[in-house]
Structure 1
């Protein structure tokens, strides 16, 4: 992805989050220099992937296949004293913009329609189970948990979530989602999130995008802050 495209996506998302009354934490507006100035005080935020994340899954067509998200809170996989055993994200699912079919091995998550940006728009979530090898299974019935109510659905069923509605996804459940009929602000509340190691796609895809630096970052991504922190450690040594 081009950095200019990432910048535009973030600026647009900030406005859309505000439209539904979702207020981002202060570190959402930090520049890379401000992240670096925080030094070791920001270690937990950086190591647990807090912040902006924009990806086209290295496919080069963000409008067709892509996702913008902001990790608001997260714990560490390793746990430990003072660790938060949960995570929260806020995302934008644009109309017909696909977050491709994937599953998690560890994470349990609620995916929530936090607000449709066009009247009547829904968050569409397509579901499949996985088999014993962790591959997508096209024959097994799925138990969909919709706002806590269990319901058997056929493989490949698409659930449409209206504002305020949610679905709980357990480890092993393949899911893809997109905005249906308009753009949707999407919330995620989950167990600890590990985007580096706990995303298993039904087709070969990269979780993070290579970036063409055609302009300066408007907001640094989690990959930018992690790289800057690593450089700071090396410099200190």
Structure 2
């Protein structure tokens, strides 16, 4: 992706998020220079826990068709998990465009609630994992939606209207997209690790490769290693 495209997506996404009454935390608006100074001082957690802007085309170069906007608001750590105390949870806000696919994947450790916060309908295609963790194309899928069990066939489509949510366990393969317009999505989960805990059906990358055609408006979490050290 070009940096100019990333900057444009950040600007339009911020407007969409605010239109639904959700306000991002102050560090969302720090310049790269401010971010670099602050993570060297009192705000190292932002870098170390990968909080912030996250825009991905999964390395395929067609964001509007295959991509996702995310902002990680809070996140614990593997250290907390080992201790069994501290921040053991994470929160993200995401945007899925109409027919913009977030590709089929699952997680090894993360259980997540995916919440339609507003906009269009969120559509999820669901499969269960077999004993080897691969997609089971025959097993029925049972998930909780707002505390109520829902049963679907393998590959069934679950549609969530604004206000509805689904709990996805690590054995649930899922792809999703917006229907009838862009969808603002909340995610509440246990500790999130986007470096190692995303298992994709296809051989694709989690983060985008950025071509620097203009300065960054704000840094992405995938910029932190190269820009912040």
Q: What TM-score do you get using the length of structure 2 for normalisation?
A: 0.96
1:94 is aligned to 2:93: no
Q: What is the rounded CA distance, in whole Å, between the counterparts of 2:52 and 2:155 in structure 1?
A: 32
Q: What is the rounded CA distance, in whole Å, between the counterparts of 2:59 and 2:86 in structure 1?
A: 32
Map 1:1-237 → 2, pairs under 5 A: 1-38=1-38, 39-79=40-80, 80=83, 83-116=86-119, 121-230=120-229
Partners of 1:95 and 1:178 within 8 A in 2: yes
Q: What is the rounded CA distance, in whole Å, between the counterparts of 2:78 and 2:69 in structure 1?
A: 23
What's the CA shift for 1:223? 1.8
What's the CA shift for 1:81? 8.9
Q: What is the rounded CA distance, in whole Å, between the counterparts of 1:220 and 1:68 in structure 2?
A: 14
Q: Deviations over 1:4-44 (max 9, x none)?
A: 11111110000000100001000000111011111142221
Structure 1, unmatched stretches of 5+, are 231-237
What's the CA shift for 1:151? 2.0
Number of aligned positions between the proteins: 226
Q: Deviations over 1:173-201 (max 9, x none)?
A: 10001101110100000000000000000
Partners of 2:32 and 2:217 within 8 A in 1: no
Partners of 1:32 and 1:225 within 8 A in 2: no
Q: What TM-score do you get using the length of structure 1 for normalisation?
A: 0.93
SS at 1:78 equivalent: helix
RMSD: 1.2
Partners of 1:35 and 1:225 within 8 A in 2: no
What's the CA shift for 1:152? 1.9
Structure 2, unmatched stretches of 5+, are none
Q: When you count strand as a share of all residues, which structure comes out higher?
A: 2
